[in-house]
Structure 1
Amino acid sequence: MGAALSKTPDNPGLAVKNHVKPLPNPCWDGNEKSSGPRYLRVGYWITGLPVGRVSEEFLAIQEAWKRNGWQVDSSIPSVSKAALPDGYGLQLQDAGKGDGSLSLTGFSPCVPESTIAELQPDPTTIERPS
């Protein structure tokens, strides 16, 4: 089957990612909460990784981001963040629970609230293209 993105982790001891998108998070101007632009975010577990390879896959993903020229912050050992040139970003996190414990979250820069249509539920699984 191979690797995929899924709302349900391989490790049953981990939480299922929310299938319904909540209202996007408001952008903040300093410490003032805004009612205007919002950040969008989506999270998945990386499933189907070979047994015992979570650490190696974590490092391989970081290296792929660096090869793409993305700014990578890996100052926290179990978390890696990639900032893309267009303001979007990715966060990879190892939950430290063994196999099936890598999560991937994508997030946007602030987008005008008027451009956000009604949010549909995220797909339950995103298979790796062949």
Structure 2
Amino acid sequence: MMSRIRRTGLAVAAIVAIALVSVSCTHQNEEANKKEDVKSVSQTLTEETAHQQIVSYLQKTADETGVGFSLTSDGNNHGSPLQPGGLMPCYDGNKEQGAHQVQAEYWVVGIPAGQLPRYKTLLQDTWTKWGWKLDPEATPTLAGVATPDNYSFILQDAGKGDGWLSVTAASPCFPFEGNGATTPLPSEIHRRTS
């Protein structure tokens, strides 16, 4: 009888120990997941340099592919404006004095009629050719890429035909003290003529 109680006690102790280890591992996994959600903050980046880099990347894209980028679509989609870009907080919990990033949203313009899918593929292929990493969860209508210096570009086809392809660019996060660009993002970016 005593050995049965001792075995039962050992079994209960083992179950409690396993439960405690499981809770501890779950807590550690939750903490690791929280850390993954935290965006890194570039201490040397500013709003001004983020503007310049986004424009530089879009200009290089326009020069290579022949498309342009504009706040106004050259299609019939004026009923669906882009969300306003600009300076955005990186964290919901610290919107006022916390880290920020630059976001810019443009329509892709200059695509010949009926060629939207081909040009979406061209843009995506051009960016990956430059070594930008394609999000493995890309879909036929939404594809994100990340540059080696942590800028991201999301190409979105609204699925409504010509004039409905947009790109959203976002810089890495930078400290609040880096806010204050002197040069606004341009309303249009087109291929440079030689």
TM-score (norm 1): 0.82
Per the alignment, residue 33 of structure 1 pairs with 93
Q: Deviations over 1:10-66 (max 9, x none)?
A: 222243446x755x22122xxx61231112100110111011110001111111111
Which residue of the partner structure matches residue 93 of structure 1? 156
Whole-angstrom distance in 1 between the partners of 2:67 and 2:152: 21
Q: Tell me, what secondary structure is at the counterpart of 1:9?
A: coil
Query: Residue 168 of structure 2 corresponds to which residue in structure 1?
Result: 105
Could you say which residue in structure 1 is the equivalent of 2:61? none
> What residue number does 1:53 align with?
115
RCO (CA 8 Å, sep 6+): is it higher in 1 or 2? 1
Higher helix share: 2
SS of corresponding position for 1:50: coil
- Residues 2-81 of structure 1: pairs in structure 2 closer than 5 A: 3-14=67-78, 15-17=80-82, 21-22=85-86, 24-28=87-91, 33-34=93-94, 35-73=97-135, 74-81=137-144
In 1, the alpha carbon distance for the partners of 2:183 and 2:121 equals 32
Query: Could you tell me how far apart the structure 2 residues matched to 1:93 and 1:102 are?
Result: 6
Cα offset, 1:112, TM superposition: 1.0
Q: Give the aligned CA root-mean-square deviation in angstroms.
A: 2.1
Secondary structure (helix, strand or coil) at the match of 1:114 reads helix
Q: TM-score, normalised by structure 2?
A: 0.57
Superposed displacement of residue 92, structure 1: 0.7
- Kindly indicate which of the two structures has a greater share of residues assigned to strand: 1
SS at match of 1:49: coil
The structure that has the greater radius of gyration is 2
Q: 1:105, CA displacement in angstroms?
A: 1.3
Q: Shift of residue 79 of structure 1?
A: 0.8
The one-letter amino acid of 2:103's match is R
Residues in 1 aligned to 2:109 and 2:140: alpha-carbon distance in whole angstroms: 21
Q: Percent identical across equivalent pairs?
A: 34
Q: d(CA) in 2 for partners of 1:26 and 1:125?
A: 25
Which consecutive unaligned segments of at least 5 residues does structure 1 have? none
Q: Which amino acid aligns with 2:75?
A: N
Structure 2, unmatched stretches of 5+, are 1-65
Code of the aligned partner of 1:95: A
Contact 1:39/1:108 (<8 A) preserved: yes
The 2-side partners of 1:70 and 1:64 are apart by 9
